[in-house]
Structure 1
Amino acid sequence: MKVYFSDPQFDYQLLRLLGATPDGGADIGECLTTAQRITEGDFESWYSEWLKTAQRLNALADAALKAGHTVSAREAYLRASSYYRSAEFYLHGNPDDPRIQSTYDASIACFRQYNALSTHRATAVEIPYEDTTLPGYFYAVPDTQGTRRPTLIAQTGFDGTQEELLGTALAAVRRGYHCLTFEGPGQGRVIRKQGRPFRPDWEKVVTPVVDYLLTRPDVDPAKIALYGLSFGGYLAPRAAAFEHRLAAVIANGGVFRLFDQHSVPPDTTVEETTEWARSQPDAFNAQMEQAMQANTTLRWGIQHGMYVFQAASPAEYWLKGVEYTLEGLAERITSPTLVIDSENDRSFPGQPQQLYQTLTCPKTFLLFTADEGAGEHCQVGAGLLSAARIFDWLDETLKP
């Protein structure tokens, strides 16, 4: 689905931002006029133009708050948070770029201002994890009067932040589910502030999150579901292979392994590429650097991958990434699992089907199509339709 840019990576990220509109995370005119100022494929142009829009909305929000217009302030803070997050998106080619921290901080500050002004605000929580904590937001169904309710754990994937999961959380609450969003290693605050990269054994991350929920008197311990978005479609099933207290698992879209045959040239294999990266890292790096100059998606993917995996080179990133596989593990999942695919998904083509076919637990396969406007990766731009089908499945799965 083309929106504005000829560059598919920039166009997808624009659609992703537009997809936040139903829940107030963006406004169409603001997004399109910003896009018109951006030079195709230029990461610096992307940063500077989204930053200008974010700062303008931030100033409008501050002025509205000072004047006592709390609704206007709340709405502007949320959009500013989204635009700051978008501005920061392509900065990770230099992990020491100070703009990563300052822009991320501005995004979080605006989201917290939005939340503080919200009628039904989320509660920021710190989840015990090893020798530190993981950040989360607990979105409670209002007026529950201590009733234990089903609860959705929602996690992002390769490049998102938990603030971006606001739409999912609100959709859950509207349907009577509490929702806990969180960030683990490699994500959001945990990589930017705590310096912890992704780890393949994601059950070591999710189990403490489940432990935390079981301490809450408002959570039904028999009805905890786990939702993984994008690369979270690997992380959630990986956790569920070991964490059997989950009543349901949702992989949107399903990911069997981070790197597969679609990640390498057609005349080679994943195994051959891995051996090349291991035995000739300099040659591997040189070829990747050359390919990155001609492909915005590849350039961003490798730069960001190196950042969130704390890899010093493309070869090191590849060698770390091949460890992320559900081979021999998917069969261990016992929870009912929803595997989702999108017709035009270019991120992990064919992998939802592979995951679905490997599962031996109760399972459902759900395909979103381009004709219904939901054919892009994670159904960006069709969040309401996506939420309707996902939560309808969850309702049916968890009902007595």
Structure 2
Amino acid sequence: MADPRGDVGVALATMRARCLIRGIDLADYQRLSEKVAGWDDWWNQWTAMGEHYLGLADRYQAAGWQTSAGAARVRAGVAFHFGKSLAVQDDARYRDLTVRSVDAVAAGLRLLDPAFERIEVPFEGHKVVGNLRRPRGTARPPLVLLLPGTESVKEEFPKWEEDFLSRGMATLSMDGPGQGEVGFELGIRLDYERSVSAVLDVLDGRDDLDLTRIAAAGVSLGGYYAIRSAAFEPRITAVLANCGPWTLGEEWERMPPLYRAKYAWNLGGGSEKTARERAKSLTLDGVAERVDVPALVIFGGKDVLLDGDRHGRRTAQALPKGELWMFEQGNHAVTDFAAEHLGPGADWLLTHM
């Protein structure tokens, strides 16, 4: 029986730029690609990479090289994440690599960043989780919430966090419903913004954050979540939405098998038909016009998942204070033009929040 994800070579090609901007070394990715011929190889080679860097981290830490040890642990955690990020079939391995990724990134950030905090937020009988980091030398920095998409997670974002930290902003990368470790208990839901509000409620009253300036930034489905959050959570003062859908279900046939299989797992409990119907409810109809704060929409003209006009331009035009950065040659999440929007996007948020 053919794997519903299709050819693993498609994943290697489409994930390359994304993996590199999130901290995977180019040479490591090239070596991995040479060894991956099927989906079992995908699991195994990413796992081997993560274990390699954990071994290096142990050596560095024993030598007293705390910064090198921290960086190696974060890199291990990112590798474990990518190993399970496209999983649709093997739940036990998915859980194992999720836990290993969470533990490795948290351990690495504790070595790299004395201000790192893991925030656990009670939410409807469960919890949502965030990694909070604050910039050095800023007593009350503004806060940027970093929201993952369908199969990205907070452990993917340490490199992205640095774009904000270096500009004097704090970051909270969160796993909400359907994401990362939280996804073990809570599935994807329409009202994601409720989890964002729960996080802000827990942070309320802190004197080491400027909570009058809060931005939401998201990638892929996280871009959609960022806009929804701004529409319904009045504490958000600016938005950055990178390649989020207007209506997810509009593009089902356009999606490569790899992504349809992933959504079937996350949205439909394994049923593509169920997932497709649920995807229609993930829409900005009646939502975008409620966002009365500055909003930056970033999109790629060659996005293989979402048409740039139907989703990017439409969203930017519907937002009362929307601005569009369209990269005509850009792919999904514009990972192939990252240098032109990651840092500048952080500058834009700092200016507008």
Same fold (TM over 0.5): yes
Q: 1:64 aligns with which of 60, 73, 76?
A: 60
1:35 & 1:236 partners in 2: Cα distance? Answer: 33
Compute the displacement of 1:142 (Å): 1.6
Cα gap change, 1:159/1:29 in structure 2, threshold over 3 Å: closer, same or farther?
Answer: same
Which residue is 2:42 aligned to? 46
Compute the displacement of 1:382 (Å): 4.0
Which residue is 2:247 aligned to? 257
Cα gap change, 1:189/1:48 in structure 2, threshold over 3 Å: closer, same or farther?
Answer: same
Which residue is 1:209 aligned to? 199
2:240 & 2:211 partners in 1: Cα distance? Answer: 18
SS of equivalent residue, structure 2 residue 341: helix
Runs of 4+ with deviation above 4 angstroms: none
Q: Root-mean-square deviation (CA), in Å?
A: 2.1
Cα gap change, 1:113/1:395 in structure 2, threshold over 3 Å: closer, same or farther?
Answer: closer
Between 1:349-358 and 1:182-191, the stretch displaced more is: 349-358
1:111 & 1:327 partners in 2: Cα distance? Answer: 37
Compute the displacement of 1:369 (Å): 4.5
Compute the displacement of 1:385 (Å): 2.8
Q: Indicate if the aligned counterparts of 1:14 and 1:35 stay in contact, CA closer than 8 A.
A: no
SS of equivalent residue, structure 2 residue 248: coil
Correspondence 1:363-374 to 2 at 5 A = 363-370=322-329
1:314 equivalenced with 2:312 (yes/no): no
Letter paired with 1:208: A
Cα gap change, 1:37/1:312 in structure 2, threshold over 3 Å: closer, same or farther?
Answer: closer
Q: 2:318 aligns with which of 331, 345, 358?
A: 358
Structure 2: gaps spanning 5 or more residues: 1-6
Compute the displacement of 1:247 (Å): 0.9
Compute the displacement of 1:114 (Å): 0.9
Letter paired with 1:37: K
Q: Indicate if the aligned counterparts of 1:123 and 1:139 stay in contact, CA closer than 8 A.
A: yes
SS of equivalent residue, structure 2 residue 136: coil
Compute the displacement of 1:119 (Å): 4.2
SS of equivalent residue, structure 1 residue 340: strand
Q: 2:301 aligns with which of 343, 347, 355?
A: 343
Cα gap change, 1:243/1:47 in structure 2, threshold over 3 Å: closer, same or farther?
Answer: same
Compute the displacement of 1:121 (Å): 4.5
Which residue is 2:208 aligned to? 218
1:180 equivalenced with 2:172 (yes/no): yes
Q: 2:88 aligns with which of 82, 89, 92?
A: 92
TM-score by length of 2: 0.91
Which residue is 2:148 aligned to? 156
Q: Indicate if the aligned counterparts of 1:15 and 1:381 stay in contact, CA closer than 8 A.
A: yes
Q: Indicate if the aligned counterparts of 2:167 and 2:347 stay in contact, CA closer than 8 A.
A: no
Compute the displacement of 1:17 (Å): 1.1
Letter paired with 1:302: R
Structure 1: gaps spanning 5 or more residues: 266-294
Cα gap change, 1:121/1:358 in structure 2, threshold over 3 Å: closer, same or farther?
Answer: same
Which residue is 2:259 aligned to? 301
Which residue is 1:237 aligned to? 227
SS of equivalent residue, structure 2 residue 326: strand
